[in-house]
Structure 1
Amino acid sequence: MIIGIDDTDSRKGMCTTYLCALLREELSSFAKLISEPILVRLNPTIPYKTRGNASVALLIECDDKERVFRHVTEKISSMACLDNENTNPGVVFVLEDQFDSVRDKLSSFFKCAVKDVITIDEAKELASELNLEYKAFKNGRGLIGALSACGAMLDLEWDYTYEYLAYREKEVWGTRRTVDEKSLFEADRVTYPDTWDTVDLVNNMVVCVPHSGDPVLYGIRGKDASSVKKAASFVVSEPVERVCIYRTNQGTDMHLMHVSLISEIEEMHSYILEGEVSSEPITIRGGHTIFTLKDEAGDVIDCAAFEPTKNFRELVRKLIPGDRVVVYGSVTENTFNIEKIKITELATSYEIHNPQCPSCGKRMKSAGSGQGYRCKKCGTSSDISDKKEIERDVMPGFYEVPPCARRHLAKQLLRFENEVLPVFPGR
């Protein structure tokens, strides 16, 4: 059977991936684990998410399904943050004899949950329609993610990466983590580009160690299980209670949809949009850099490189009206949050000067509004100013936010094939 679980954590603690890792160990005493567990990230704009909007799924073989149902639901009841109003767990069980009949609908539901907004009622209706065993705790919002994770397990025709998650011993949850930073930089040095986003070299920051009160000690992301395991072997840290390697849709851009016109954009969705820069980028209070992008119909939308994107804002500030770009990211509050940008065409920029006098070589003065220029010494005149092209301090190419600002689903440039990419500073 497949077991899908979601929404057991809160902003203060716990982690659904930890519960999955624990269940994986406990269930193995009376069930057989068939494959690595799955961790899927869903629509990153959903306001109800705790941190990364992740759900998980296990694939097992067992003789006593009732024992599995009972063990899993009791474990969720005892470990989920049920006293938090925003924690509403859901668990779904898909039996083997149902796999073929539910595969298409659950797969479609999974892909929709990554890109779109789904209601709790829609999730409950689907679970009932497919005659699935499930349990909804409180309002049952976690059923959305639980069904999605089951759909991902049934449909492996999607791009995937891996994450190695190490978990803390329970008695130190909520305290400061102890992970040797030098060992993380060494792990990155040895295994990059097979692993990524362990550290941020440009900003000299550790990325893979969270700061919240959840059980995760660190997470290493990479192209396959052996690569993330190798990187983890270099890490020096406090004692680790358990580890789990997940297959995941992180780093795949699965949340993005191509759109041609701004009028087609909806709030809380993520897009790839091409257009023309129509305003000079400005930096507002808080350090956020914003410019407007115009589509072929003449509609505009604000595009933002927010303060956490750090040095990426320097690139955005070099854009000028007339540049052609493709932006990748999510839309909330009518603002496009840029995750990546592809500069396809640079506009020409000029410096304008008063013309030189052909007789004496000095710069002419303005003869008055709309009257051209005149040399006071020689009396010569001209209607044409001197125009000099400015060399742009930016090149066409693909640019991304630094690892410290990367969203879970955003695809790293190193994972793009058949693209001519600039070398990002620091690599």
Structure 2
Amino acid sequence: MIIGIDDTDSNEGMCTTYLGALLLDELQAYGTVETLPLLIRLNPTIPYKTRGNAAVALKLNTDCPEKVIAHVVSRIEELARMECEKTNPGTVFVLEKDYDRLKPILRRFLEKAVRDVIEIEEAKSLVSESGIPSKGFKNGRGLIGALAACGAMLNLEEWDHTFEYLAYRQNEKWGTPREIEKESFFEADRKTYPETWDTVDLKNRLVVCVPHSGDPVLFGIRGENPAIVTEAASLIRAEPVERFAVYRTNQGTDMHLLSVEKLTEIQDMHSYRLKGTVSSVPKTIHGGHVIFTIRDEKENEIDCAAFEPTKNFRLLIRKLRPGDRVAMSGSVSSGTLNIEKIEIKNLASLYREENPICLTCGKHMKSSGQSQGFRCKKCGTQATSKIMCEVKRDLTAGLYEVPPCARRHLAKPLVREHRSDIDINPAR
């Protein structure tokens, strides 16, 4: 059977992946865990999410599914942050006899949950019409993520995946400052990058794989395979760990992105790949955010933003000028694209007026006075007007990303890009 769980945490604490790690151990009393657990990130723009909008799924070979269901439900009742208004847990159970029937149905549901907006009633209707055993708590919003995670488990071969090693704190430490040796994370990065990523942010000298909320996670190492994330984790020096789990995930895959040809197709609460031509000079607004617009071939425009948390990435964005052709990916909120990556395809030619150059000595001429043209004092050569000279751009075509400290869970880091037709300029 496959067990999907979502929405047991809150902004203040708990973590659905921690519950998944507990169940990995506890459910072995009822059977055998068949594969790595899944951590599935859903649409990052959904306003109802608590923190990372993640659901989990476990696959268990068991002869007593009823006991498994009762155990999972009881653990959710015990550990979920029910007191939080935004916490609305849900769990679903897909039995082996239904795998083939539900595989295409839940694959479509997974794709929609990651890229689109799903109402609670749609999830409840799917559960009812498909006869899927389930349990929703409060308004049952967690059923959405639980179904999506089961869809991911049923369709492992259909989507790109990465891995995350999650270490969890001892219970008495929850809510207290984390005790870590910062330099050990940089050491782990040096020894395992580029097969691991987003452990640290080198330019900003930050450890980015350690959360700051009151949840049970001590740190999370992301990488290409279970062995490399485990190796990196072994190099970390920190407070004692209660338990750990290695999850297969859709993090770092760009699974959330939709392709769009016309800017008029863009909607809030969705994430896109789009292209266009820069149509305004980037400006810095209150808070340090950098805003500019792009235009498509039909003259439709959209605002694009490098927000303050993207740090040094904003320096790049400020160098864009009208006429530059770009392709970008990011999420849309309030009609503005929050940039995750940008590919500068072609730079516009910029010109400025300069005094004419003497063809004899190669030096710039001097003005002879208002409306009197220009003259080279050394050679005596003359010219009637200024000339236009191309400005050298302090910018190079290529693909750029926000720094690790600002990266969204689902955004694919450049270190995972395998295209040969572009230049990659990672922000490390």
- TM-score where L is the length of structure 2: 0.95
* Distance in structure 1 (CA, Å) of the matches to 2:22 and 2:417: 34
- Residue 179 of structure 1 and its aligned partner are, at CA, apart by 1.3
Q: RMSD of the TM alignment (CA)?
A: 1.9
Deviations 1:108-163 (A, max 9, x none): 10011100000000000111111100001000000000000000000011000000
Match of 2:253 in 1: 252
Contact 2:400 2:427 in 1 (8 A): no
Residue pair 2:355, 2:366 contacting (<8 A) in 1 also? no
Alignment partner of 1:206 is 2:207 = yes
Number of corresponding residues: 420
For the 8 Å contact 2:252–2:410, the answer to whether it is kept is: yes
Asked if the contact 1:184–1:235 (Cα under 8 Å) also holds between the matched residues in 2, the reply is: yes
Matched-pair contact (CA < 8 Å) for 2:41–2:52: yes
TM-superposed CA distance for 1:192, in Å, is 0.5
Structure 1 residue 375: Cα displacement? 5.6
Report the equivalent of 1:30. 30
TM-aligned CA distance change 1:363 to 1:237, over 3 Å: same
Distance in 2, Cα, partners of 1:425 & 1:257: 24
Structure 1 residue 291 displacement after superposition: 0.7
- For 1:36 and 1:425, the matched residues in 2 are separated by 31
Displacement of 1:30 in angstroms is 2.1
Which residue number corresponds to residue 89 of structure 1? 89
Gaps of 5+ in 2: none
Pick from 419, 423, 426 the counterpart of residue 424 of structure 1: 426
Matches within 5 A, 1:7-406: 7-156=7-156, 157-355=158-356, 361-363=365-367, 367=371, 374=373, 382=384, 384-406=385-407
Q: Distance in 2 between matches of 1:375 and 1:230?
A: 70
Q: 1:387: Cα distance to partner?
A: 1.0
Worse overlay, 242-251 or 415-424: 415-424
1:370: which partner in 2?
Answer: none
**Within 2, Cα distance between the matches of 1:22 and 1:375?**
82
Q: Which amino acid aligns with 1:339?
A: E
* 1:61-95 residue CA offsets vs partner (Å, 9 max, x unmatched): 11111111110001000100001111000000000
**1:29 Cα deviation after fit:** 1.7
> Which secondary structure does the structure 2 equivalent of 1:399 belong to?
strand
Amino acid at match of 1:422: I
> Per-residue CA shift, 1:323-368, capped at 9, x if unaligned?
000011010001000000000000011121355799993225554x
CA distance in structure 2 between the partners assigned to 1:344 and 1:14 by the alignment: 44
Offset at residue 276 of structure 1 (A): 0.3
Which amino acid letter does the alignment assign opposite residue 79 of structure 2?
A: M
The amino acid of 2:344's aligned partner reads I
CA distance in 2: counterparts of 1:160 and 1:315, whole angstroms: 30
What amino acid does structure 2 have at the position aligned with 1:404? Answer: C
Q: Distance in 2 between matches of 1:195 and 1:93?
A: 33
Q: Structure 1 residue 423: deviation in Å?
A: 4.0
2:368, 2:11 → 1: CA distance? 66
> The residue matched to 2:183 in structure 1 has which SS?
helix
| SS across alignment from 2:123 | helix
Q: Give yes or no for contact 2:401–2:427 (8 Å, CA) kept in 1.
A: no
TM-score of the aligned structures, taking structure 1 as reference length: 0.95
2:366 is paired with a residue of what secondary structure?
Answer: coil
For 1:112 and 1:425, the matched residues in 2 are separated by 31
Residues 365 and 265 of structure 1: CA distance in aligned 2, closer, same or farther (over 3 Å): farther
- Separation (CA, whole Å) in 1 of partners of 2:293 and 2:130: 46
The DSSP-based 3-state class of the residue aligned with 1:217 is strand
d(CA) in 2 for partners of 1:13, 1:423:
36
| Counterpart contact for 1:329–1:337, Cα < 8 Å | yes
Quote the Cα distance in structure 1 between the aligned partners of 2:192 and 2:60.
31
- Counterparts of 1:32 and 1:366 in 2: how far apart (Å)? 90
Tell me by how many angstroms 1:275 deviates.
0.4
Structure 1 residues 365 and 16: alpha-carbon distance in aligned structure 2, compared to 1, 3 A threshold: farther
Seq. identity, %? 58
Give the Cα separation in 2 of the matches to 1:328 and 1:363: 49
Could you tell me how far apart the structure 1 residues matched to 2:240 and 2:205 are? 25
Structure 2 counterpart of 1:278, which letter? S
Whichever residue aligns with residue 150 of structure 1, its letter is C
Given that residues 354 and 364 in structure 1 are in contact (C-alpha distance below 8 angstroms), is that contact kept between their aligned partners in structure 2?
no
Q: What amino acid maps onto 2:122 in structure 1?
A: E
Q: Is the 8 A contact 2:324 2:348 kept in 1?
A: yes
Deviation at 1:21, TM superposition (A): 0.4
SS of the aligned residue for 1:28 comes to helix
Change (3 A) 1:146 1:362: same
Matched residues in 2 for 1:366 and 1:169: separation?
80
Letter in 1 for 2:304: C
Shift of 1:424: 3.1
CA shift at 1:302, angstroms? 0.7
